[in-house]
Amino acid sequence: MLGQGNKLVAVSLIAVMAVGSVVMWLGIPFGWIYVVSQSVESSQPSMGPYVLLIVGIPVSMMLVGRLLGSLNRYYGRVTHTTPEVRVNLPWHRSLRESRDSSHPRTVLDVVMVISVGAALTCFGAWFFLLAGSPLPS
């Protein structure tokens, strides 16, 4: 049973993972686009800003993903629910074995799926409701 302090830490870790995953899907791309757009001085196109975006966004997402993974491991230690992942490679499985994966779900799995859904919903709302038409009127 978790103590009151551990429950507070566990809930706080879930909240931080939720915020971090939304930042990963929405904040990092928008942040990089904003930074690059502010650094472009002339209207003359060049490859520099595009390369910075192509490199900066995935590297930043990878770093935030590693941070979220370490938060998930810490959550597992706090709540004593660290799953032992056993992966059976497809060529080691019997044909009679069920197709169900026995991979245990972690809190981070659930948080990431919810955050991707939220990010897609926000993008769809922006695209269809707020972006306006790119066609000349």
Domain presence at residue 112:
no
pTM of this prediction exceeds 0.95: no
The b/e string for 47-81 (b: 16+ C-beta within 10 A; e otherwise) is eebeeebeebbeebbeebeeebeebbebbbebbee
Domain presence at residue 106:
no
pLDDT digit string (tens) for 90-134? Answer: 677 766 666 555 567 788 888 888 888 888 898 899 888 888 877
Domain presence at residue 20:
yes
Q: Is 128 left (phi over 0), alpha (psi -120 to 50) or beta?
A: alpha
What's the domain count of the chain? 1
Domain presence at residue 137:
no
Domain presence at residue 98:
no
Q: What's the mean per-residue pLDDT of the chain? A: 83
pLDDT (0 to 100) of residue 19: 93
- The CA–CA distances, whole Å, from 93 to 83, 84, 85, 100 equal 21, 19, 16, 12
Domain presence at residue 91:
no
Domain presence at residue 70:
yes
Residue with tokens 């930074």: 35
Q: In which band, very low, low, confident or very high, does the pLDDT at 61 lie, cut at 50, 70 and 90? A: very high
Q: Is 105 left (phi over 0), alpha (psi -120 to 50) or beta?
A: beta
- The CA–CA distances, whole Å, from 85 to 16, 77, 82, 101, 125 equal 24, 15, 9, 11, 37
The token pair that represents 25 in the structure block: 């899907």
Q: Which domain holds residue 64?
A: 1-81
Q: In which band, very low, low, confident or very high, does the pLDDT at 53 lie, cut at 50, 70 and 90? A: very high
Domain presence at residue 67:
yes
Q: In which band, very low, low, confident or very high, does the pLDDT at 86 lie, cut at 50, 70 and 90? A: low
